[in-house]
Every structure is written in structure tokens, then in C-alpha cells.
Amino acid sequence: MSIDLKTVKHISKLARISIDDEKANKLKGDLNNIFEFIEKLNELNTDNVQALTSIAETTLRFRKDEIKSENIREKILKNSPEENKDFFVVPKVVE
């Protein structure tokens, strides 16, 4: 199976990474090489194997539902790319 240019562009759209045609062509080559290498897994029959979803064999812990956080509003906004005292600023979304 090989990945064509259209698929590369579709994935880049899903991944929200814009790429030009030159980069897309380069990526097509790289991805095909990598997937050729990955296809090796098809040699194995895994019909009766259970998928390993977590390597740490623990169940998630419950904690008490209580407020622990101090007021960290300023801290959260500190690295905001656009200066604004109270909000994160993005391009206009609603017309």
C-alpha cells in the first residue's frame, strides 16, 4: 500500500499543519519508506491477542472532590502570545 499526495495533504489538514507542494512530495517519500518498514507487523497473526492499552497495571485512583487550587489566573495568562490582561486573544471566530 502506498500513500499518495492527496492523502498527504489530507493528513496535513487533519494535523493542522500547512505544507506546500514541495514539502508534501518530500513527506510522501518519507512516509512511504516508514510505512514500508511498519508493514512488517502484518507478518504476525494477532487475531487472538488482546491489545495492550496500559503498561502500568493500575486502576486510576479516586480523589476527594475538593478545591485545592489557589488563584492562578495570572500564572495561566502569563505566557499568552498576545497581551491582554484578562483573556486569551484569537482571530475573530464569530462573524
Partner 1 sequence: MSDITSQSLFELTSNIKEKKLSSEEITKAFINRAEKSKKLNVYVTDNFEKAIDQSKKFDSNPNLDSKLPGIPIAVKDLFCTNGVRTTAGSKILNNFVPTYESTVTHNLWSNGAILLGKLNCDEFAMGSSNETSFFGNVQNPVGENLVPGGSSGGSSAAVAANLTPVTIGTDTGGSIRQPASFTGTVGLKPTYGSCSRYGIVAFASSLDQAGPMTKNVRDCSMLLEVISSFDQKDSTSIDYKRNNYSKELSKDIKGKKIGIPKEYRVDNMPDEIEKLWKNGISYAKDCGAEIIDISLPHTNYALPTYYIVAPAEASSNLARYDGVKYGFRSPGQNLIEMYEKTRSEGFGDEVKRRIMIGTYVLSSGYYDAYYLKAQKVRQLIKKDFDDAFSKVDAILTPSTPSSAFKIGEKTNDPVSMYLNDIFTVPINLAGLPGISIPAGKDKNNYPLGLQVIGKPFDEQNILNISYALEDKINFKNDISDWWLSE
**Which residue bears the cell 491489545?**
51
Least distance in angstroms from the C-beta of 93 to partner 1: 5
Q: Are 7 and 24 in contact (CB under 8 A)?
A: no
Buried b (16+ CB within 10 A) or exposed e, 31-57: beeeeeeeeeeeeeeeeeeeeeeeeee
Least distance in angstroms from the C-beta of 5 to partner 1: 13
11 binds partner 1 (CB under 8 A): yes
Query: Which residues, at least 6 apart from 1, have a Cβ–Cβ distance to it below 8 Å?
Result: 35, 39
Residues 15-44 contacting partner 1, CB under 8 A = 15-19, 27, 30-31, 33-34, 37-44
> How many distinct helices (H) and strands (E) make up the chain?
3, 0
82 binds partner 1 (CB under 8 A): yes
* SS3 of residue 90 by DSSP: coil
Interface residue with partner 1 among 2, 54, 69, 71 (CB under 8 A) is 54
Least distance in angstroms from the C-beta of 39 to partner 1: 8
Binding site for partner 1 (CB under 8 A): 3, 7-8, 11-12, 14-19, 27, 30-31, 33-34, 37-44, 46, 49-56, 58, 60-61, 63, 72, 75-76, 78-82, 88, 90-93
